[in-house]
């Protein structure tokens, strides 16, 4: 039995916007895999809910006119993993969200909910950061788009305005073209866990595949929100495929990330793992791009 | 005699459980039941100064709020031990229904009763408790220091109990020239059972008596405890135990049944339910004792022990529960598994401000094997000996008899299980292959033995009762006091009953639910005793029933009784093997006979004054990723000599479950506490790292079937033993892979990170 005050079900995006304005205190409910858990814990007990789960137009993966990838915010993790567009252009995202919770959670949980929660450990977030994803929000005045880095404001806080719902996540063509990535979720067990640290790296190689043309790296749980590691990206850009490059890339991470001590893991441990993950993710991403390490 | 025993019969409850027809406590609860929510202490130690319920009482739907100031001041014991009529052997009575003196973060202070769960939860959040805080202590050895906070009166140094072993002359023996000293400290964590069904119970009154329906392992014991807690005659309490979703020892305690029974007496006998959340189950039920162990071995160059010393410090938490029995059992194994003439042992059970520790699968032996088997590998390493070959030299020999229990090692079980385990995992080849590795990813193979005994004799009473009732169609209802808690004993009992009576397996109807008004007395499911202990009563009662049937058969067939037998539900003349009549015909005729009507039943109690050793081992193969601080378990094999298998498929399943528990114990599970407040940090299934099946390799179970001579079916313990040796086997495999000895379980990445840094691997 859940302690909820009332439940409003939105039939369309416009309907959801109207309900948001009518019930400013209400919590948006998508797959429910976080909201209902928090409600049970008493954190959101007694709240009003606006369910957007029935808005089918917000489900599915497609390519738009400019060949940007569009992922509807209600698309479930298991859908993303199996989607042919994802598998062809950004397979690492499908792999990352396949590490969320267990099979039931992945069927119910949505990528929109995963990002709107604003938590640093979200398995989709580091890959979306690393691929310069764009967040689409729809409100009373229409559609607003912003880079995912701007969408995350602080731990647990994202830039969703009182009249808005998140309607899609976009991966621009310039981001995914010729790009190959790898994600490692470092957790205390192999399923049903949240990341102690998650690292997502992607590369575009030079035409001869002898050097890294562009490297991008992002972390979850290396700070209060997901983050890129620009020093590392700079250290690898244009560099040859050597052990020195990988080592320099990995060590540079330490000047960007800010993990903290908590009962879940020490700062020293998280830093050690972050460096190791950077190295391993880069190594694998380059291999996927067809590069051969010297 | 055997037609059913020894075969992999399908579980008698399989279809009902798979189809969702099996009824559990909450399924049986009427929707009109009052809901409750317990208010738990938010400090680790102190006195409740006041409880302000004014705001909470305003919540619509709240019926009553009871606080620690409302309950009777009548301390009672909770441990699920058979009662002792000798006051010196009775469990410590240190519990009240709700507590003014709170002794751990999560202790029970008040309870809200409401018309529904939501109202109860809302009101519980509004109950304001004021405390006079006391200092608290979480560490077992700090709790023994002078000046440590005193958690209970009359237990100086917080020591609940201290027992000793003094065999031979340790002090003199360790002065023998040429000895090598090997010393280690080994630590095990606080873990929880994590049975799938949280504890739940309901209570209501009828006819001036209280009926409690509960998810318990021990209905007859819970009846006694409820009687003691409420100060009413025990016969005024009736306990019903339906199907339960596991217990692993947590439900071998009276948990909330006494409080629930008391609540219904305060509410005009209305039906009231206490339903624990997972968060409460972790903290406010029972946990496994964290035990710290110090071992010193004085070893001769040939590997034999001149003298050994062991000290064990067992973290009891806030209340006595099962108390000293756990560490006493663990220390008791020490001089037996590797016999040594000169042993000095001291075991302490110490109150701390952690959750109360009680029974949990293995009852002190997983802790003892973590310490003892890790230490044996440390000794082997110091000697430059191969751990398997070294254990062959020193492990308990065939013919060993324990002076106290009189348990006898009838076979060379340890060497036989080692042979089988080594062959199964390819021990010799892998051991050789994995020597002298360098590089970041290394493999290793390790092993551990375990010592176990089956039941609780001679420490406690062992008795089992059984009732059998013959139906007109020749089928038989069977009831025992031993309880089905998921382990499959109903199926094993049906197999043994079928053979004892001489009827087909399908004609045995096990009455699974226990009801203390009608179920014959038995102390329930605990230790690893149900199949062993139940077997005696089933064999005896089956014999009585069969004798009555053959008496009737002799009358009906006009044959000499001694010439008759009951075989597969048929009356057979043994002299020529002719089937004279079916049991269905006999039963119908006997019941409706106008000349001599008889309802054929049998009931008897058997008191068991034996116990039985049950030994085995684990072999584990790991891959250690040093930079990632991760251990991947590649292969694991358990080998058990648990006597003859009653049901091989169920036996294998039992071993799989225990291995899973052992893997979590070694690698990931531990309940953590905030050092500053004593608050549990991870009392949920996300943050408490119970291993998932993605963390398991294929779990391989092997058996050596040496028939146990004291058992009518040749069987002995298998319930707890599978959980006893996986953790140290994994630890020893990590030692072989990396050369790094990890002495603190669980071997989490955090522990490995610290140890690999210390040893210069990172």
What's the pLDDT at A43? Answer: 87
Chain B residues with CB under 8 Å of A188 CB are 668, 689, 748-749
- Tens digits of per-residue pLDDT, A180-193? 999 999 999 999 99
In terms of phi and psi (left: phi > 0; alpha: psi -120 to 50; beta: otherwise), the region of A64 is beta
B279 phi and psi angles, rounded to 5 deg:
-60, -40
The CA–CA distances, whole Å, from B469 to B359, B474, B541, B552 equal 34, 10, 10, 15
In this predicted structure, the answer to whether residue B2 has a pLDDT above a threshold of 70 is: no
Task: Give the residue-averaged pLDDT of A65-70.
Answer: 97
Judge whether residue B457 has pLDDT over 60: yes
Q: What is the rounded distance in angstroms from the CA atom of residue B116 to the CA atom of residue B492?
A: 41
B694:A186 CB<8 A = no
Q: How far is B216 from chain A (nearest CA, A)?
A: 24
Q: What is the pLDDT of residue B373?
A: 98
Contact A27, A38 (CB under 8 A): no
| CA–CA gap between residue B665 and residue B140 (Å, rounded) | 19
Residue of B nearest to A44 (CA): B122
Which residue, B241, B228, B246, B230, is CA-closest to B201?
A: B241
Nearest Cα to Cα of residue B65 among B158, B128, B156, B150: B128
**Closest of A108, A77, A261, A45 to residue A185, by C-alpha:** A77
pLDDT reading at B433 higher than 60: yes
Phi/psi for B280 (5° steps) reads: -70, -40
Query: Are the beta carbons of A189 and B695 separated by less than 8 Å?
Result: yes
Residues of chain B with Cβ-Cβ distance to A265 below 8 Å are 750
Q: For residue B714, which of B726, B723, B722, B705 has the smallest C-alpha distance?
A: B705
B514 in contact with A at a CB cutoff of 8 Å? Answer: no
Whether B691 and chain A come into contact, CB under 8 Å, resolves to yes
Q: What is the mean pLDDT of residues A207-236?
A: 97
- Shortest Cα distance, chain A CAs vs residue B676, angstroms: 12
Residue B602, pLDDT above cutoff 90: yes
Interface touch A269/B685, C-beta < 8 Å: no
Cβ distance A190 to B689 less than 8 Å, yes or no, reads no
Give percent of chain B above pLDDT 70. 100
Closest approach of chain A CAs to the CA of B689, in angstroms? Answer: 7
Mean pLDDT of chain B: 97
Contact B121 A186 (CB under 8 A): no
Contacts of B665 (CB under 8 A, 6+ apart): B188, B189, B191, B366, B370, B723, B726, B727, B745, B746
Round to whole Å and give the CA distance between A72 and B73.
Answer: 62
B117 at interface of A, judged by CB pairs closer than 8 A: yes
Mean pLDDT of B215-224: 98
DSSP conformation class of B289: P
Report the run of H or E that residue B571 belongs to, with start and end.
Answer: strand B570-573
B1, pLDDT greater than 70: no
C-alpha–C-alpha distance, residues B443 and B447, integer Å: 14
Does any CB of chain A come closer than 8 Å to the CB of residue B695? yes
* Among candidates A3, A188, A272 on the partner chain, residue whose Cβ is nearest the Cβ of B689: A188
* Six-digit token string for B577: 């093997």
DSSP-derived letter for residue B522 is B
B692 CB within 8 Å of a chain A CB:
yes
Model confidence at B259, pLDDT cuts 50, 70, 90, reads very high
Measured between CA atoms, the residue of chain A closest to residue B663 is A189
Chain B residues whose beta carbon lies within 8 Å of the beta carbon of residue A186: 628
Residue A273 C-alpha, separation from nearest chain B C-alpha, in angstroms:
6
Return d(Cα B521, Cα A282) in angstroms, integer: 66
CB spacing of A3 vs B694 below 8 angstroms:
no
* B121 → closest Cβ in A3, A190, A264: A3
Question: What CA–CA distance (Å, rounded) separates B215 from B229?
Answer: 19
Contact: A269, B749; criterion CB under 8 Å: yes
DSSP structure string for B400-453: -B-TTT--B--S-HHHHHHHHHHHHHTHHHHHHHTTT--SSEEEEEEEEEE--B
Distances (CA, A) of B245 to A29, A81, B22, B23, B197: 32, 34, 11, 10, 5
At residue B431, φ and ψ (nearest 5 deg) are -55, -45
Measured CA to CA, the distance from residue B427 to residue B375 in angstroms comes to 20
The band of A81, judged by pLDDT with boundaries at 50, 70 and 90, is very high
Tally of CB atoms within 10 A around A126 = 31
Judge whether B689 is closer than 8 Å to chain A, CB to CB: yes
pLDDT score of B600: 98
Is there a contact between B122 and A265 if contact means CB atoms under 8 Å apart? no
d(CA B170, CA B152): 34
Residues of B in contact with A46 (CB under 8 A): 122
- Are B668 and A186 an interchain contact pair (Cβ–Cβ within 8 Å)? no
Grade residue B15 by pLDDT with cuts at 50, 70 and 90.
very high
Q: Do A192 and B116 count as a contact with CB atoms less than 8 A apart?
A: no
Residue in this structure with the two tokens 């973590």, named with its chain if needed: B370
Asked if B639 contacts B665 with a C-beta cutoff of 8 angstroms, the reply is no
The answer to whether B518 contacts chain A (CB < 8 Å) is no
Contact B691 A189 (CB under 8 A): yes
Q: Do A191 and B692 make contact, defined as CB atoms within 8 angstroms?
A: yes
As a whole-number percent, the residues of chain B with pLDDT over 90 amount to 98
pLDDT tens digits for range A253-264: 999 999 999 999
Interfacial residues of A (vs B; Cβ cutoff 8 Å): 1-3, 42, 45-46, 102, 186, 188-194, 196, 263-266, 268-269, 272-273, 276
In this prediction, residue A44 has a pLDDT band, given cuts at 50, 70 and 90, of: confident
> Which chain A positions have a beta carbon within 8 Å of B694's beta carbon?
189-191
Q: How confident is the model at residue A45 (pLDDT cuts 50, 70, 90)?
A: confident
Can you say whether the dihedral through the CA atoms of B496, B502, B508, B512 is positive or negative?
negative
Contacts across the A-B interface (CB distance below 8 Å): 59
**What is the pLDDT averaged over residues B552-578?**
98
**Within a 10 A sphere around the Cβ of B285, how many other Cβ atoms?**
23
Q: Which helix (DSSP H) or strand (DSSP E) does residue B583 occupy?
A: helix B583-592
- Give the pLDDT score at A42: 87
Question: pLDDT digits over A90-141, tens only?
Answer: 999 999 999 999 999 999 999 999 999 999 999 999 999 999 999 999 999 9
Q: Please name the member of B117, B125, B686 whose beta carbon is closest to the beta carbon of A42.
A: B125
The complex scores an ipTM of 0.96
């Amino acid at each position: 039995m859940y302690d909820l005050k009332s439940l409003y079900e939105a039939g369309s995006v416009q309907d959801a916007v109207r309900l948001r304005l009518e019930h400013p205190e209400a919590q948006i409910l998508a797959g429910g895999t976080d909201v209902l858990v928090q409600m049970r814990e008493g954190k959101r007990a007694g709240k009003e809910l606006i369910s957007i789960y029935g808005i089918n137009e917000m489900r599915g993966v497609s390519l738009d006119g400019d060949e940007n990838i569009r992922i509807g915010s209600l698309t479930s993790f298991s859908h993303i993993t199996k989607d042919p567009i994802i598998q062809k252009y950004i397979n690492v995202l499908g792999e990352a969200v396949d590490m969320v919770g267990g099979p039931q959670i992945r069927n119910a949980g949505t990528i929109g909910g995963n990002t709107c929660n604003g938590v640093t450990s979200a398995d989709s977030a580091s890959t979306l950061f690393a691929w310069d994803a764009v967040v689409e929000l729809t409100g009373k005045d229409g559609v607003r788009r912003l880079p995912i880095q701007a969408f995350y404001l602080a731990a647990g806080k994202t830039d969703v305005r009182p009249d808005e719902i998140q309607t899609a996540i976009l991966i621009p063509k310039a981001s995914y073209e010729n790009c190959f990535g790898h994600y490692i979720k470092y957790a205390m067990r192999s399923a049903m866990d949240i990341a102690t640290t998650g690292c997502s790296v992607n590369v575009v190689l030079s035409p001869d595949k002898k050097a890294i043309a562009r490297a991008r790296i992002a972390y979850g749980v290396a700070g209060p929100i997901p983050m890129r590691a620009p020093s590392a990206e700079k250290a690898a850009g244009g560099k040859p495929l050597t052990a020195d490059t990988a080592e320099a890339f990995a060590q540079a991470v330490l000047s960007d990330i800010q993990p903290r001590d908590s009962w879940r893991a020490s700062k020293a441990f998280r830093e050690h793992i972050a460096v190791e993950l950077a190295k391993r993710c880069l190594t694998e991403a380059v291999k996927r791009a067809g590069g051969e390490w010297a | 005699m055997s037609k059913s025993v020894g075969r992999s019969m399908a579980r008698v409850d399989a279809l009902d459980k798979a189809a969702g027809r099996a009824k559990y406590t909450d399924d049986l609860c009427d929707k009109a039941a009052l809901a409750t929510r317990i208010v738990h202490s938010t400090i680790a130690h102190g006195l409740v100064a006041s409880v302000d319920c004014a705001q909470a009482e305003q919540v619509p739907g709240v019926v009553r709020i009871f606080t620690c100031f409302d309950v009777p001041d009548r301390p009672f014991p909770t441990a699920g031990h058979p009662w002792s009529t000798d006051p010196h052997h009775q469990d410590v009575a240190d519990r009240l229904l709700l507590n003014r003196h709170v002794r751990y973060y999560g202790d029970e202070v008040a309870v809200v009763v409401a018309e529904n769960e939501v109202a109860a939860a809302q009101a519980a959040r509004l109950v304001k408790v004021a405390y006079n805080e006391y200092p608290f202590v979480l560490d077992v050895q700090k709790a023994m220091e002078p000046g440590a906070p005193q958690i209970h009166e009359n237990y100086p140094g917080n020591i609940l109990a201290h027992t000793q072993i003094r065999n031979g002359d340790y002090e003199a023996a360790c002065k023998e020239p040429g000895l090598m000293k090997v010393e280690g400290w080994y630590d095990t964590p606080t873990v929880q059972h994590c049975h799938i069904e949280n504890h739940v119970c309901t209570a209501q009154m009828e006819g001036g008596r209280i009926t409690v329906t509960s998810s318990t392992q021990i209905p007859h014991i819970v009846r006694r405890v409820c009687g003691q807690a409420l100060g009413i005659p025990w016969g005024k309490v009736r306990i019903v135990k339906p199907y339960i979703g596991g217990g692993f020892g947590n439900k071998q305690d009276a948990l909330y049944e006494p409080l629930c029974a008391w609540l219904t007496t305060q509410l005009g006998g209305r039906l009231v339910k206490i339903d624990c959340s997972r968060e409460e189950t972790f903290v406010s039920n029972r946990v496994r004792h964290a035990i710290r162990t110090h071992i010193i071995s004085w070893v001769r160059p040939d590997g034999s022990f001149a003298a050994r010393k062991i000290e064990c410090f067992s973290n009891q938490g806030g209340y006595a529960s099962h108390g000293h029995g756990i560490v006493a059992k663990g220390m008791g194994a020490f001089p037996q598994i590797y016999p040594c003439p000169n042993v000095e042992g001291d075991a302490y059970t110490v109150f701390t401000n952690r959750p109360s520790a009680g029974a949990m699968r293995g009852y002190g032996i997983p802790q003892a094997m973590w310490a003892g088997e890790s230490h044996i590998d440390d000794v082997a390493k110091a000697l430059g000996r191969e751990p398997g070959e070294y254990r062959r030299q020193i492990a308990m020999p065939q013919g060993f008899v324990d002076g106290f229990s009189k348990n006898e090692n009838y076979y060379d079980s340890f060497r036989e299980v080692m042979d089988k385990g080594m062959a199964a995992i390819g021990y010799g080849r892998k051991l050789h292959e994995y020597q002298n590795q360098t590089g970041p990813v290394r493999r290793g193979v390790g092993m551990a033995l375990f010592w176990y005994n089956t039941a609780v004799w001679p420490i406690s009473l062992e008795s089992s009762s059984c009732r059998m009732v013959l139906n007109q169609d020749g089928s038989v209802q069977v009831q025992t006091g031993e309880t089905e808690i998921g382990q499959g004993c109903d199926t094993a009992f049906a197999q043994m009953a079928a053979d004892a009576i001489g009827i087909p397996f399908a004609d045995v109807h096990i009455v699974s639910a226990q009801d203390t008004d009608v179920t014959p007395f038995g102390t329930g499911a605990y230790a690893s005793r149900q199949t062993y202990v139940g077997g005696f009563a089933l064999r005896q009662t089956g014999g009585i029933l069969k004798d009555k049937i053959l008496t009737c058969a002799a009358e009906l067939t006009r044959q000499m009784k001694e010439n008759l037998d009951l075989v597969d539900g048929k009356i057979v003349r043994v002299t020529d093997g002719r089937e004279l009549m079916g049991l269905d015909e006999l039963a119908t005729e006997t019941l409706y006979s106008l000349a001599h009507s008889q309802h054929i039943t049998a009931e008897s109690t058997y008191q068991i004054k034996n116990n039985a050793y049950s030994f085995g081992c684990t072999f584990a193969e790991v891959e250690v990723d040093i930079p990632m601080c991760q251990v991947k378990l590649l292969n694991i094999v358990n080998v058990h000599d648990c006597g003859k298998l009653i049901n091989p498929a169920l036996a294998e399943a039992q071993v799989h479950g225990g291995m899973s528990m052992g893997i979590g114990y070694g690698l990931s599970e531990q309940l953590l506490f905030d050092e500053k407040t004593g608050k549990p940090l991870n009392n949920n299934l996300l943050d408490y790292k119970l291993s998932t099946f993605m963390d398991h390799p294929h779990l391989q179970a092997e058996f050596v079937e040496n028939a146990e001579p004291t058992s009518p079916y040749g069987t002995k313990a298998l319930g707890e033993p599978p959980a006893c040796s996986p953790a140290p086997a994994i630890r020893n495999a990590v030692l072989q892979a990396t050369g790094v000895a990890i002495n603190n379980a669980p071997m989490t990445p955090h522990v490995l990170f610290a140890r690999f840094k210390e040893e210069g691997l990172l």
